[in-house]
Structure 1
Amino acid sequence: MRTTTSGRGLQPNVLGTFDTIVMAVAGSAPAYSLAATTAVLFGAVGFGGPAALLYCAIPMLGIVLAYARLGRIDVNAGAAYSWVGRTLHPFLGFLSGWALVFSTTVFMVAGSLPAGTLTLSLIAPDLADSTPLAAAVGACWFLAMLLVVLGGARLTVRAQLVMSGIEMLILAGFVLAAVMHRGRASAFDWSWFGLGQFHGTQGFAAGALIAAFYYWGWDVTGNLSEETRDSRRTAGVSALVGVGFVFVLFEVITVTVNLLLTAEEIRAAGPNVLAVVGQEVWPGIGGKLLVGAVLLSTVATLETTLIQVTRSLFAMGRDRTLPAALGTVHRRWNTPWVAIVTVGGAALLLFAAAAAAGSVQRVLRDAVAAIGLQIAFYYGLAGIAAVVAYKSVLFRSVPNLVIGGLWPLFGSAFMLWAFVASLGELSRTALAIGLGGLLLGVVPLVVHRRAGSDYYRRPARLDAARALAATEAAGAPTPGARTGGRDKNYATDF
């Protein structure tokens, strides 16, 4: 187990396979993603939302495979930050970690504002349109989750089991009720899954970035790897199961929205689209139930996002690529408490800025697009890192080449293409947040490189064959090991 400069590390073996699957699903925030992003996606691709989600899921699975394979050879709370730095270049590794830190911090606002609005809509509907009040209530939810994360991974997962469990029950009930509902605004059309729904290459890229935001969050399993039992296998398997589950859920509910609401109703609903659909399916109570599900999902994903950003900051502080104090672990709770407090302070400042920025819907639209840019950036680099790390074993079998090489490489190419191709479609605010946030990372990179961080001194490169051989020699099971160790399939066993 890696430790901080003070000799204390994160608590190992706290989480099991089911725990990390729950965290992967909660990280993608099904109800929140659907509520916050359905109208945004519709604005980009119309009724082609199911197609955008499908065509983004295929390369996204390539990135999930990349994470699973990289996690087999380097268990690190920094995840892509460590993997990209040790395979491609430390500068790119730091910027990958910075992209996650910046995007998750922005998400604190993009997630907390709807939590405030939803809470007000349930208890004081007349005040729900007040952005300053929504920011204040959202900040309270954020601080509550901050305290839960400070209490450790075990407490975090217990809270997730309750919140996500109730959310899934409500969504499952909604899907069943929608199937039996007779009212239809549109007839089902297979063209919703076709490429013809997109307005050119840039329109497709914009839709792909928004779809990437739907799935984003499953990679929390990589950031929790130092606290997970059998993490070399568990983190990757949990991410695959989690992404598969939310893909089906996203598709089913997006098709349901297309069936039950007109184009005008979807645009007018904005982030309240699930409440409108719920009211259509269950007049009287349906809207409030789905508002409750979205609220639970929003709060749950705030928690997983806090895990991601604080574990990443912890790893960066441990490597002294950011202030070393961020690598400090609480003696009682084994959590990176300095990183948690730092994120809390930064997010509260952003809440104040968001309260003065105008409508919640506008803040959400720009934040989703900006976060999508940064997701595409660090996911794309992680896909390349997996191919480079496993290059010495890719041609040992066809499955190994396809699953371990071509698919992650396709996922990486897709993400980086979407990053570049979407630039002409985004607003100035979204570009300023997305690209400006990445450029801001150059400042701490230069400062801490000059200060002599060992991270920038070309650490031992990740090589799958060498790393897995070392694991086998230490007595741990290697992926796909056969009798006598004669044949290893590095692609198919995580």
Structure 2
Amino acid sequence: MATINLDRPEGKGLAAGTLGLWGSTVIGLASTAPVYSLVATLGFVVLAVGAQAPIAFVIAFVPMLFIAFAYRELNNDVPDCGTTFTWGTKAFGPWVGWLGGWGVAVAGMVVLANLAQIAGIYFWSLFGDGSLAENYFLVTATGVVFIAAMTYVSWRGVEIGEKIQNILLGFQYLALAIFVVAALWHFFAGTAPDPTPFDWAWFNPFGFTDWSGFTEAILLALFIYWGWDTCLALNEETKDPKRIPGRAALLTTVILLVTYVGVTIAAMMYAGLGETGTGLGNEANADDFFLAIKDGLLGPAGWLLVVAVMISAISSTQTTILPTARGTLAMAAYRALPKRFSTVHPKYKTPSFSTLVMGIVAIVYYVGMSLISDNILQDSILSLGLAIAFYYAITGYACVWYFRKEPFTSARNFFYRFLFPLLGAGMLTYAFIQSAIDMYDVDYGYTVLLGIGGTFVLGIGALAFGVLLMFLWFAFPASKPFFRGESLNRDTPVLVPEDPAEYSRSVDGGLA
């Protein structure tokens, strides 16, 4: 097979040697939006499985951990910011790799619309009686401003982004710590609305009584772990591209597990599982449990939880732009997208064109969906799990196939390069299929399109649209080196500097 040598000593021109383990971990945590993820998910998980919510979060952590191992192993061998795109291409060829890259882009675009809306709603709920949060145009305009602002931060440089994320993430964890302490204080003081003693049965994996409720809870819980892979998308900008990103990803997932399980236990001990009042089983509280209990829990300081959710959404907006922009940069560098997407800012060393395009597309998508129907916007967000499971599963399978000659050379390789990635990919494949089946039902979500569930149409349609774009790019002569396997194949050297610590000079935008 012919190969085009794209190797350059300075890599793709990104700010190599910028992030350490702490910075990578902070960005990975911020990408998951821990406060908002809990707000949006905890109530629905309890409605699905009741007192088994803690073990549901633990079980959902397992496939995330297994896929994190796959990311780590692939990154150790191929530390490229294209992540799923690059690894999928090296393992299975250009077609699978391209679609993996598209899955990352779709997930980022859809969630940005959601985060922008949440940030706008919570921002205006801080003023007056909160009625401004119901002003459709005001919330949408504010969301657009947040996307634009975070796009600028991402364009301005990963270093300034890291400093901002340190502050924003610190506030989120401060708010969560206050939540846990206050909830336990009320429990032991006897002032909780429904004090419920801790029970080890909450961690009984055999305590689930309904299979559909179990699968629903696991799928919901999978969503709140999503985002840690941003650590890997910034691998070329770390001080040790082969080691730091993988370690940061594993550290991020473990911290998230402790966070989610800890907050869930505190919430159950404080509010109980009742179906009335502030109970976690009250459907009226499911979409925002924090808002329902903030006044009783913190009194006049209840606004702290509102600010924490807003900051969580804003913070994740910035970190969500990062992996998608770097993914399209890598795709362009290997000829899978037009050359323009590979432009790197000569001063800030960020994927300037890709970052700006991501911000613009997210704004257009958000405003467009909002104008068509808020219900369609909500259904597109519900379909997000399909894109997540899709590209995570591709990564897991890519790890197994890429290292297919190594599983039995050592015990370590058997577990980390074969068994764990295969199990994680299998679990996520099942999650994808089960989600698609559930979403097909007209009663799932808020809309019905083409006579079936609107969530299914939007989720599968978004992935299918990627196939259309892929064939469209295939029609251009500039794409041939990629689709012929010349610009990127198993033997292609990745565009990463050999020693990022020593690389400090600026480079021009386009890659040859």
- TM-score range, shorter-chain basis? 0.7 to 0.9
Q: 231, 235, 238: which is aligned to 1:221?
A: 231
| Partner residue in 1 for 2:474 | 449
Deviation sequence 1:67-101 (CA, Å, 0-9, x none) = 00000111211111110111023211111110110
| Partner residue in 2 for 1:36 | 40
- Kept in 1: contact 2:157–2:349 (CA 8 A): yes
| Partner residue in 2 for 1:166 | 171
| Partner residue in 1 for 2:401 | 388
Shift of 1:276: 2.5
Shift of 1:116: 0.4
Deviation sequence 1:160-197 (CA, Å, 0-9, x none) = 11111121122112212222222152444444434566
Q: 322, 329, 336: which is aligned to 1:321?
A: 336
1:423 partnered with 2:423: no
More helix by share: 1
- Select between 370-379 and 7-16 the one with higher mean Cα deviation: 7-16
Shift of 1:247: 0.8
- Select between 397-406 and 22-31 the one with higher mean Cα deviation: 397-406
The separation in 2 between residues aligned to 1:205 and 1:272, in whole angstroms, is 21
SS of residue paired to 2:116: helix
- Kept in 1: contact 2:369–2:377 (CA 8 A): no
| Partner residue in 2 for 1:332 | 347
The separation in 2 between residues aligned to 1:63 and 1:7, in whole angstroms, is 26
Q: 257, 268, 272: which is aligned to 2:284?
A: 268
Cα gap change, 1:74 to 1:445, in 2 (>3 Å): same
Aligned pairs, how many?
466
- Select between 117-126 and 442-451 the one with higher mean Cα deviation: 442-451
1:478-489 residue pairs with structure 2 within 5 A? none
Q: 283, 296, 299: which is aligned to 1:280?
A: 296
| Partner residue in 2 for 1:251 | 261
The separation in 2 between residues aligned to 1:171 and 1:55, in whole angstroms, is 22
- Kept in 2: contact 1:275–1:288 (CA 8 A): no
Shift of 1:438: 0.4
- Select between 229-238 and 343-352 the one with higher mean Cα deviation: 343-352
- Kept in 2: contact 1:65–1:403 (CA 8 A): yes
- Kept in 2: contact 1:206–1:418 (CA 8 A): no
- Kept in 2: contact 1:3–1:10 (CA 8 A): no
- Select between 160-169 and 125-134 the one with higher mean Cα deviation: 125-134
The separation in 1 between residues aligned to 2:383 and 2:232, in whole angstroms, is 23
Letter in 2 for 1:276: A
The separation in 1 between residues aligned to 2:151 and 2:388, in whole angstroms, is 23
- Kept in 1: contact 2:93–2:489 (CA 8 A): no
Deviation sequence 1:53-73 (CA, Å, 0-9, x none) = 111101110000000000011
SS of residue paired to 1:122: coil
Cα gap change, 1:277 to 1:113, in 2 (>3 Å): same
Cα gap change, 1:400 to 1:126, in 2 (>3 Å): same
1:439 partnered with 2:451: no
| Partner residue in 2 for 1:128 | 133
User: What runs of 5+ residues in structure 2 fail to find an aligned partner?
Assistant: 445-452, 501-512
Shift of 1:142: 1.4
Shift of 1:246: 0.9
| Partner residue in 1 for 2:322 | 307
Letter in 1 for 2:275: A
Letter in 1 for 2:382: A
The separation in 2 between residues aligned to 1:376 and 1:44, in whole angstroms, is 20
Cα gap change, 1:268 to 1:136, in 2 (>3 Å): same
- Kept in 2: contact 1:184–1:259 (CA 8 A): no
The separation in 1 between residues aligned to 2:54 and 2:94, in whole angstroms, is 38
Deviation sequence 1:2-41 (CA, Å, 0-9, x none) = 789x996212111111110111111111101111222343
Percent sequence identity is 29
The separation in 1 between residues aligned to 2:493 and 2:112, in whole angstroms, is 36
Q: Normalising by structure 2, what TM-score? A: 0.84
Deviation sequence 1:380-411 (CA, Å, 0-9, x none) = 11111111222222212223312332111111
| Partner residue in 2 for 1:411 | 424
User: What runs of 5+ residues in structure 1 fail to find an aligned partner?
Assistant: 477-494
The separation in 2 between residues aligned to 1:199 and 1:343, in whole angstroms, is 43
| Partner residue in 2 for 1:485 | none
Shift of 1:270: 4.0
Aligned-residue RMSD, C-alpha:
2.7
The separation in 2 between residues aligned to 1:3 and 1:325, in whole angstroms, is 18
Shift of 1:43: 4.4
Q: 8, 13, 17: which is aligned to 1:13?
A: 17
1:350 partnered with 2:360: no
| Partner residue in 1 for 2:143 | 138
Shift of 1:457: 2.1
The separation in 1 between residues aligned to 2:220 and 2:6, in whole angstroms, is 36
The separation in 2 between residues aligned to 1:9 and 1:88, in whole angstroms, is 27
Shift of 1:151: 0.2
Shift of 1:202: 4.3
Q: Normalising by structure 1, what TM-score? A: 0.87
- Kept in 1: contact 2:370–2:377 (CA 8 A): no
1:49-60 residue pairs with structure 2 within 5 A? 49-60=53-64
The separation in 1 between residues aligned to 2:235 and 2:480, in whole angstroms, is 24
| Partner residue in 2 for 1:241 | 251
Shift of 1:326: 1.2
- Kept in 1: contact 2:186–2:270 (CA 8 A): no
SS of residue paired to 1:283: helix
Shift of 1:256: 2.6
Deviation sequence 1:225-266 (CA, Å, 0-9, x none) = 111111100000001011100111011112233333333444
Letter in 2 for 1:402: F
Shift of 1:52: 2.2
The separation in 1 between residues aligned to 2:100 and 2:214, in whole angstroms, is 24
| Partner residue in 1 for 2:509 | none
1:102 partnered with 2:98: no
Letter in 1 for 2:268: N
The separation in 1 between residues aligned to 2:122 and 2:11, in whole angstroms, is 43
Deviation sequence 1:318-361 (CA, Å, 0-9, x none) = 223222211111222111221122122222222223434666xx
- Kept in 2: contact 1:327–1:339 (CA 8 A): yes
| Partner residue in 1 for 2:90 | 86
- Kept in 2: contact 1:220–1:308 (CA 8 A): yes
The separation in 2 between residues aligned to 1:348 and 1:37, in whole angstroms, is 25
Letter in 1 for 2:152: L
- Kept in 1: contact 2:7–2:493 (CA 8 A): no
Cα gap change, 1:316 to 1:352, in 2 (>3 Å): same
The separation in 2 between residues aligned to 1:53 and 1:199, in whole angstroms, is 16
